[in-house]
């Protein structure tokens, strides 16, 4: 039997992300945490790989409408991964201090 990969779950981190404005269009909080990738077999990835997005932007990302987001907000996949790194850095800096 193949062991299941461990995914990081943190309700506190997801609540913290929900209290942020949309990272794409700057709509005010509350936001929906968007998991930026999957863990395979229809599993969600670790909670550390989320960004705060409003409902409209969340739908656009899930429907793979990257061209709309790039043209309207200059937000693409590269910006999404930069946002993930920035959020995790802020979270762990806050947790340590």
The residues spanned by each domain of the chain are 11-96
Cβ 39 vs Cβ 50: under 8 Å: no
Distance CA 13, CA 64 (A): 25
Q: What is the mean pLDDT of residues 40-53?
A: 81
Q: Which one has a higher pLDDT value, 32 or 39?
A: 32
What pTM was estimated for this model as a whole? 0.78
- Res. 67 pLDDT band, cuts 50 70 90: confident
Reply yes or no on whether the pLDDT at 29 is more than 90: yes
């Amino acid at each position: 039997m193949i062991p299941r990969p461990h995914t990081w779950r943190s309700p506190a981190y997801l609540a913290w992300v929900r209290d942020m404005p949309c990272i794409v269009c700057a709509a005010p909080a509350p936001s929906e945490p968007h998991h930026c990738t999957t863990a395979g077999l229809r599993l969600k990835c670790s909670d550390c790989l989320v960004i705060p997005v409003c409902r409209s932007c969340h739908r656009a990302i899930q429907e793979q409408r990257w061209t709309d987001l790039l043209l309207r907000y200059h937000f693409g996949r590269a910006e999404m991964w930069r946002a993930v790194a920035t959020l995790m850095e802020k979270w762990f800096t806050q947790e340590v201090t």
